[in-house]
Chains A and B, each alone.
Chain A
Amino acid sequence: AQSVAQPEDQVNVAEGNPLTVKCTYSVSGNPYLFWYVQYPNRGLQFLLKYITGDNLVKGSYGFEAEFNKSQTSFHLKKPSALVSDSALYFCAVRGEGSGTYKYIFGTGTRLKVLA
């Protein structure tokens, strides 16, 4: 069965500092991994994805994510946080060849960037 875990409900970081939002997953087969961001009273917006290839994936708004197969992780990172990055972040996974289009989201991590 597919699953994804975001172990931190909230992450606080000072503006200008690097940020990391953690995600671990479990799938059968190769994973398709995604990050989304949700601002208050808005729908989710796609940030980046990993399908295959380089383990470091670059996405929108200066975000990047590192795929680690041995640790089954896909952590979201940004070298220098902005106050405007404060939002709710979701990791999602689908297993390649899983035979379904089930697409599982984590429970979300609230990022708070402090000025």
Chain B
Amino acid sequence: EAQVTQNPRYLITVTGKKLTVTCSQNMNHEYMSWYRQDPGLGLRQIYYSMNVEVTDKGDVPEGYKVSRKEKRNFPLILESPSPNQTSLYFCASSVAISEGYTFGSGTRLTVV
């Protein structure tokens, strides 16, 4: 089944403890992206990647890192999480920039 898989689905962590949210797609898509969803703010793009080793900042990149060493994987790294990073995170991929995204199921992160 064609899908974007994120892990974990739920995560509660403490301020400052490094964490990684994994994202993997099995559709050979070139384009991948990370979003955070907050009430009243919609989805805001954190980082995106146009291909292996090609990444760029979205609108809210502060406090996040990404890497794209393989086409299928696009992990999101929070080196020192803070409470304002408590949010619902989505990974998404698409075959081309003119096509719609396939989204993962989301990761609900709580930083205390």
Contact = CB atoms under 8 A, between A and B. Distances in A.
A44 B90 CA distance: 9
A100 B44 CA distance: 15
B106 A43 contact: yes
A78 to B, nearest CB: 18
A104 B45 CA distance: 7
Nearest to A59: B100
A74 interface: no
A51 B94 CA distance: 15
A89 B99 CA distance: 18
A61 interface: no
Contacts of A106: 42
B104 A101 contact: no
Contact of B90 (A6, A43, A51): A43
A109 B97 CA distance: 24
A25 interface: no
Contacts of B59: 102, 104
Interface string A36-62: 100000111110010100000000000
Contacts, number: 59
Interface residues of A, number: 22
Given A101-B48, A101-B56, A46 B100 contact: yes
Given A36-B100, A51-B98, A105 B35 contact: yes
B43 interface: yes
Interface string A1-44: 00000100000000000000000000000001010100000111
B31 A90 contact: no
Nearest to B35: A105
Contacts of B101: 34, 36, 44, 46, 103
Given A49-B99, A104-B59, 18 more contacts: A32-B97, A36-B100, A43-B4, A43-B103, A43-B104, A43-B106, A44-B90, A46-B102, A49-B100, A94-B97, A101-B31, A101-B33, A101-B50, A102-B45, A102-B48, A102-B59, A103-B33, A103-B45
Interface of A: 6, 32, 34, 36, 42-46, 49, 51, 90, 94, 100-108
